[in-house]
């Protein structure tokens, strides 16, 4: 999977993703998980597009049914207590998929995410069913090269797309 790979989701997948995003949001708030989304956009849009990005990634890597079920499962995860595995297993690595509508967007993760069980992070850009894979980076590499990334006062790490790599095909 090369950086720049384009993916299109069906209308059915988009509708399903937005429904899952809504269920996840409501479940998290019900269970006292703080909403640290900072964009100012609608939570419905942010959470729905997040799931769309996860589905686009799963589609790209031809994920097995078990990974699609993992995306569809609604429960409270926490990066703070280490229960967040990420979104999709790829070649034995748990990948946490991040999505932004901005073509030149950064991979943004909170420093607390570095304590979860995900092994790598992937960035998808796009909106409403049309996405581009911008690359991935391992958690190990983030920790080892922290000085190369922008650290923000709110505890987030901004990783430019130049630091992201293509996924190696088998």
- Alpha helices by DSSP H, listed for 36-170, are 43-60, 65-72, 139-144
Q: Which of 92, 17, 8 is nearest to 54 (CA)?
A: 17
Neighbours of 114 (CB within 10 A): 15
Span 123-144, pLDDT tens digits: 999 999 999 999 999 999 999 9
Tens digit of each residue's pLDDT (9 = 90 or more) over 10-45: 999 999 999 999 999 888 778 777 666 666 677 778
CB of 101 within 8 A of CB of 49?
yes
For the chain, the average pLDDT equals 89
Each residue's pLDDT tens digit, 37-96: 666 677 778 899 999 999 999 999 999 999 999 999 887 655 444 567 889 999 999 999
pTM of the model: 0.90
* Predicted local confidence at residue 27, as pLDDT: 86
């Amino acid at each position: 999977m090369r950086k720049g790979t384009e993916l299109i989701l069906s209308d059915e997948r988009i509708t399903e993703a937005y429904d899952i995003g809504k269920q996840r949001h409501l479940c998290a708030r019900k269970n006292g998980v703080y909403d640290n989304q900072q964009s100012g956009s609608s939570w419905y849009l942010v959470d729905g597009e997040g799931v769309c990005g996860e589905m686009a990634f799963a589609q790209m890597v031809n994920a097995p049914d078990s990974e699609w079920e993992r995306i569809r499962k609604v429960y409270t995860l926490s990066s703070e207590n280490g229960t967040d595995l990420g979104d999709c297993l790829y070649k034995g690595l748990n990948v946490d998929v991040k999505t932004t509508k901005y073509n030149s967007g950064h991979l943004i993760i909170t420093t607390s995410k570095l304590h979860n069980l995900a092994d790598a992070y992937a960035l998808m850009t796009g909106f409403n069913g049309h996405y581009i894979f911008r690359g991935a980076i391992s958690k190990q590499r983030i920790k080892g090269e922290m000085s190369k990334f922008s650290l923000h006062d709110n505890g987030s790490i901004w990783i430019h797309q130049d630091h992201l790599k293509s996924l190696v095909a088998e």
